[in-house]
Amino acid sequence: MPAELAIDNAHLLVVDDDARLRALLQRFLADQGFRITVAADAAAARGALSAMAFDLLVLDVMMPGESGLELVESLRREGKDVPVLMLTARGGPDDRVAGFEMGADDYLAKPFDPRELALRIRTILRRTAPPPQPVLAQAPVQLGMRWFDAERSELRGPEGTIRLTGGEAALLTALARRAGEVLSREEIAAALGTPEAGERAVDVQVTRLRRKIEPDPREPRFLHTVRHRGYVLRPGP
């Protein structure tokens, strides 16, 4: 199936306690070609996630009971790497960074244009979809006892496959494809598909990624900060 058709046929879980907005998003996103399941709260979302596989979650932050932030943090802790786009009435930089810290892939402030939501969904799906096999595949990059295959967005170690969120995989792919080169925060934000999120959001993703590739994240061996310039990946045994 062509990649664009696969993206348009993606199965989305929309979680929002506002029944009117939930119904509006269900209709609009279905008209965009997506398959849609809806849930009114985190408990209903958990039930849907246990019964079906989804390509992406559209998740409201402020919900009664378990919040969207708590739900995405719990999903990441459980090893679930389904991409998450968070919706919130609080769209300040600190709120966006909090979402990225919990493991969200993108953040959209309410009120929003539904067309922008559809665009961001497709951007995340393109970023997280398995890439087509190139004629000349890049060799996996060694990071100590772990290896990262940029063509498959797959990190493996002695313990097996290490789960990466969509943002973490996009970050490591961008760095691995230009290993040894310093990438500015602006370049990294563009590779993540979140140029408006700012430098702090990039730093948050770097911190999260270091926890998965570094023996000691406080003393990085592979993912280095270059002061006033950005970040560089230096692979090695």
pLDDT in tens, 13-53: 999 999 999 999 999 999 998 999 999 999 999 999 988 88
Complete DSSP assignment for 177-225: HTTTSEE-HHHHHHHHT-TTS-HHHHHHHHHHHHHHH-SSTTS-SSEEE
Q: H-helix or E-strand containing 122?
A: helix 114-128
CATH number at residue 223: 1.10.10.10
Quote the pTM value. Answer: 0.61
Q: What are phi and psi of 61, to 5 degrees?
A: -75, -50
Length of the chain, in residues: 237
pLDDT band at residue 2 under the 50/70/90 scheme:
very low
Residue 227: inside a domain: yes
Same domain, 121 and 12: yes
Domain boundary among 88, 103, 128: 128
Residue 184: inside a domain: yes
Biggest alpha carbon distance in the chain? 54
Same domain, 184 and 102: no
pLDDT for 137 equals 58
Same domain, 116 and 145: no
**Which residues pair with residue 108 across a beta bridge?**
87
Residue 206: inside a domain: yes
Same domain, 34 and 109: yes
For 142-174, write each residue's pLDDT tens digit: 999 999 998 888 999 999 999 898 888 889 999
Task: Please state the separation of Cα 47 from the chain's center in Å.
Answer: 22
Same domain, 118 and 155: no
pLDDT band at residue 135 under the 50/70/90 scheme:
very low
pLDDT at 75 over 80: yes
Residue 101, domain extent = 3-128
Same domain, 123 and 151: no
Mean pLDDT for all residues in the chain: 87
